[in-house]
Amino acid sequence: MRPAFCYSHECMGGTVLDGKRIRDEILGELRPRIEALTRRKRAPALAVVLVGDNPASKIYVGSKIKACEEIGIRSVKVTAPEDVSTDELYRKLEPLTNDQSIDAILIQMPLPEGINAEKIVSSVVAPDRDVDGFGEVALGRLVLNRPWVRACTPAGIMEMLRRYHIPIAGKKAVVAGRSDIVGKPMALMLLHENATVTICHSRTQNLAEECRTADILVAAIGRAAMLTADHIKPGAVVIDVGMNRVTEKAEVQRLFADEPARLAAFEKNGSVLVGDVEPKAMRELSSAYTPVPGGVGPLTIAMLMANTVTLAERRLLE
């Protein structure tokens, strides 16, 4: 029997990295910590701010609140209309900054055009309530590799790699994407685990050639199926962060020609989700890969819950 992760041509035909299973493990480990906090002090509390009517944002916020309810975290939802001004939004959110019953604050992005997002986040979300791990203190401590809450999506990916016993030290990792939310923190987390890391972006020359050097390839570009078989080294571990909705029938048929269930879902719903990597190439060339959906997505919410509990423990127990 071949080893699960050998990073070689012989290891083609990827193992599915099940984000739902890892999510359930993480949430299961959080429950006794939440119960202990509730007995000694109170339940951890997360405030979620939703501005406007973005359908995707509503779904994401609903998922986060549902996760809170399932494991015993108190959630507080604050909403504001699409046409709210920066000053009006600040005044509405100002009470959160003084509410000592709130351990963590999340402002759902993107905010509507016309709102100064940087001003809102920096003035409302103090470092000790920065559950997303996007603030200057969190990012600075990540650069220095000092303890703090980490950005949820890359932290979840690191948990997945660890729990699937995928070796990182000494491996070549390529991160395609340089966002402050995923790409940059992902690269730093891999670097801290002794991977040799390359960050690629929109101006990278010979992108396919760079990606093909990766033992661990993280795709966080935000473009549907942009990475193809030409970008994947046979036997690589492929982590697909992308969540892109495809609505063109010809493109769906091209991407999912060998997946009747996905084609049927498209006929029913008029769209399907695809990551940043061509699904067939990812399945056939990788030694392990994250499916879309069901891979990285569930981990983001799991790590949001973990960060909430960690912040609550610091506030209530230290």
Helix (H) and strand (E) counts for the chain?
12, 11
State the Rg of the chain over Cα: 20
The bridge status of strand 74-80 relative to strand 172-176 is unpaired
Residue 259 included in any domain: yes
Residues 174 and 280 in one domain: yes
* Number of domains into which the chain is organized: 2
Q: At what angle do helices 86-98 and 117-124 cross, to 10 degrees?
A: 20
In a domain, 3, yes or no: no
Interval 255-308: pLDDT, tens: 999 999 999 999 999 999 999 999 999 999 999 999 999 999 999 999 999 999
Q: Does 274 lie in the same domain as 181?
A: yes
Give the structural domain span for 62: 40-127
Is 253 tagged catalytic?
no
pLDDT in tens, 89-115: 999 999 999 899 999 999 999 999 999
Between β-strands 244-246 and 272-274, what pairing exists: parallel, antiparallel or unpaired?
antiparallel
Residues 99 and 168 in one domain: no
Rounded Cα gap, residues 50 and 112, in angstroms: 10
Give me the pLDDT at residue 93, please: 96
Instruction: Confirm whether 138 is domain-assigned.
Output: no
Query: What CATH number corresponds to the domain at position 84?
Result: 3.40.50.10860
Annotated active-site residue in 24, 92, 99, 108:
108
In 3D space, the residue among 4, 18, 15, 14 whose CA is nearest the CA of residue 299 turns out to be 18
The catalytic position among 103, 130, 132, 240 is 132
Does a structural domain hold residue 284? Answer: yes
> Model's pTM, two decimal places?
0.93
Alpha helices in the chain (DSSP H): 19-40, 55-71, 86-98, 117-124, 136-143, 152-163, 183-192, 207-211, 249-255, 260-269, 279-285, 297-317
Is the pLDDT confidence value at 6 over 50?
yes
Residues 225 and 288 in one domain: yes
Question: DSSP assignment of 139-159, as one string?
Answer: HHHHHTT-SS---HHHHHHHH
Q: Answer yes or no: is 44 within a domain.
A: yes
Cβ atoms of 165 and 287 within 8 Å: the answer is no
Once rounded to an integer, what is the mean pLDDT over residues 235-263? 95
* Residue 109 and residue 175 share a domain: no
Domain membership flag for residue 28: no
Final residue in a domain of this structure, among 127, 143, 159: 127
Do 184 and 217 belong to one domain?
Answer: yes
Q: Is the domain of 162 the same as that of 113?
A: no
> Has 230 been annotated as catalytic?
no
Domain identity same for 68 and 190: no
Amino acid at 71: I
Domain holding 157: CATH number? 3.40.50.720
| pLDDT band for position 3 (cuts 50, 70, 90) | very low
Q: What average pLDDT does range 67-83 have in this prediction?
A: 97
Q: Are residues 161 and 278 in the same domain?
A: yes
64 part of the active site: yes
Regarding whether 225 and 171 lie in a shared domain, the answer is yes
Question: How far is Cα 202 from Cα 199, in angstroms, rounded to an integer?
Answer: 11
Q: How far is CA 289 from CA 123, 153, 162, 275, 294, in A?
A: 39, 16, 14, 11, 11
Neighbours of 12 (CB within 10 A): 16
CA-nearest of 222, 211, 264, 219 to 245 is 222
Question: Looking at the structure, do residues 212 and 94 belong to the same domain, yes or no?
Answer: no
224 band by pLDDT with thresholds 50, 70 and 90: very high
Same domain, 191 and 290: yes
Given this model, what pLDDT does residue 11 score? 52
Query: What is the average pLDDT score of the chain?
Result: 94
Position 12 pLDDT exceeds 80: no
Widest CA span in the chain: 62
Residue 316 has pLDDT above 50, yes or no: yes
Burial 295-308 (b: 16+ CB within 10 A, else e): bbbbbbbbbbbbbb
For residue 4, tell me if it sits in a domain. no
**Does residue 140 lie within any of the structural domains?**
no
